[in-house]
Amino acid sequence: MSTFVGRRADPAKAERELRDQQRRMAEIRATAESGDELISATVGGHGELVELRLDPRIYRTPDSADLARSITKTIHRAAELAQEEGFAIIAEHFPADVTAKTADLRLGPVLHELDRRIKEGER
């Protein structure tokens, strides 16, 4: 992402754009369901679990290890969906060979660098 900072002639404008994109990413909610549709997981833009729904039918088969694997897999799928959605918001700032799977969507380091440049009066 440092290429984004380096390409922008106006650090203050770049900071505003990134803060807007960061806000949009924070609003992301991505939901995935397990294959049997008994588990539903919703995560936020950074992959954090926001909601977990367990259908009461999960108790019909008392296999806690399988249930744990299904929950984990469903949460991971929801996080992948959130990553894809977040990447779509800021993809323009990445080189063409970067994908949703390989991108680091944390904007904090870039915003820190922009703040430094703004304080130093760089253009």
Q: Are strands 39-44 and 49-54 parallel, antiparallel or unpaired?
A: antiparallel
Q: Are 105 and 121 in contact (CB under 8 A)?
A: no
Residue-wise pLDDT tens for the chain (123 aa)?
Answer: 445 555 556 777 877 888 898 899 899 999 999 999 999 999 999 889 999 999 999 999 889 999 999 999 999 999 999 999 988 888 887 788 888 887 777 766 666 666 677 777 754
* pLDDT value of residue 93: 76
List phi, psi (to 5°) of 105: -90, 5
Q: What is the pTM of this model?
A: 0.75
Q: Which residues contact 108 (CB under 8 A, 6 or more apart)?
A: none
